[in-house]
Amino acid sequence: MLTIGRLASYAGVTIRAVRHYHQVGLLREPERDASGYRSYDAAAVVRLIRIRTLAEAGVPLARVRELLDADPETFAAATTEIDRQLRTQIRTLQEHRRRIARLGSGDTLAVPAEVVDYLDRLRALGVPAAVIDGERDGWILMAARWPEAIPAFMADKVAQLGNPMVVRFYGLIGRIAEDPHDEDLLRETADLMSEMFAQAEAAGELDQQNDVMPDAAFVRLMDAFADAAHPVVARLRELVAERGWTGWTMVEKRAP
C-alpha cells in the first residue's frame, strides 16, 4: 500500500495535484487506517496515470471523469470533439501570435491594414515620425467610430497622394514639426490649405462631408484631439480662418 507521496511519485504528478483530484472527485480518497494514514493501492496509481495522461493531452478536467468511465464508442466521440475544440483554440492562439508580431512597428496597434499601408506611404514621402504618429492616432479614432468606412477613406487618402498640393502640404507639415515657431512657414501652409479647400469645394467634396461623417459630436472630438496633439494646430486654424475657412476635421467656407 502506498502513501500519497509515493502514489504521486509513481504517477508522475505532485501531491498537490493528487489532492486537487480528490477535491474535484476524479480520484477517490481512501479512508484512514488505524494509524491515521491514508494508503493507496495499485488501482489508484493506474487511475491517476490515466487522469494525468488525459490532462496533459489537453482534456479539460471537467471532461476527464466522462472519459475515464466511457465505453470505446463514447470515448472516441468525446476525443474527436475535444480535438476539434483544441484545433479552434490553436487557431485562436495563432491569430494572437500573428497580431502580436504585427505590433512590432507600432502602427498596427488598433488600426486596419489599409491605414498601415497609408502610413507607410507617408514614410516613403519622408514625412517625419511625429507627424505619422499623430495621423495614426487620429485614424485609431476614426476606425473605432466608422470601421466599415475605413477602406473607402483610405482609398481616397491614397488617391490624394497623387495630388502635388497634398504632397507639398505634408512636406510643409514636416517642416513645421521641426520648427513650429516659423510664422512664415505657418502662413505658407495656411495659404496652401486654403487653396486645397477651394479646390475641394469646386469639386463638390465639401458638400459630401456630412454624408461621410454624420456625427457632429465625433467631429468635435476629432477637432479637440487635433488641437491637443500640437499647439501649432490652433495657430493654423486661426490663419485658415483669416483666409475664409472654418473647421478642421470638417471644413466649411465662412459666411461673408
Residue 251: predicted pLDDT: 94
Residue 256: predicted pLDDT: 65
Residue 25: predicted pLDDT: 92
Residue keyed to cell 502506498:
2
Q: What is the pLDDT of residues 3-14, one digit of tens each?
A: 999 999 999 999
- What letter represents residue 152's amino acid? A
Mean pLDDT (the chain, rounded): 90
Residue 192: predicted pLDDT: 97
Residue 103: predicted pLDDT: 60
Compute mean pLDDT per 10 residues along the chain, 256 residues long, and list them: 92 95 93 85 93 88 87 87 88 82 62 91 92 90 93 94 95 92 96 95 91 91 90 93 94 84
Residue keyed to cell 496533459:
56
Residue 42: predicted pLDDT: 93
Residue 102: predicted pLDDT: 63
Using the Cα atoms of residue 30, residue 31, residue 36 and residue 42 in order, give the sign of their dihedral. negative
Name the burial class of residue 207, with classes exposed (0-12), middle (13-18) and buried (19+) by CB atoms within 10 angstroms of its CB. Answer: exposed
Contact present, 222 and 249 (Cβ < 8 Å)? yes
Residue 107: predicted pLDDT: 61
**Domains of the chain (ranges, CATH numbers):** 4-102 (1.10.1660.10), 106-253 (no CATH)
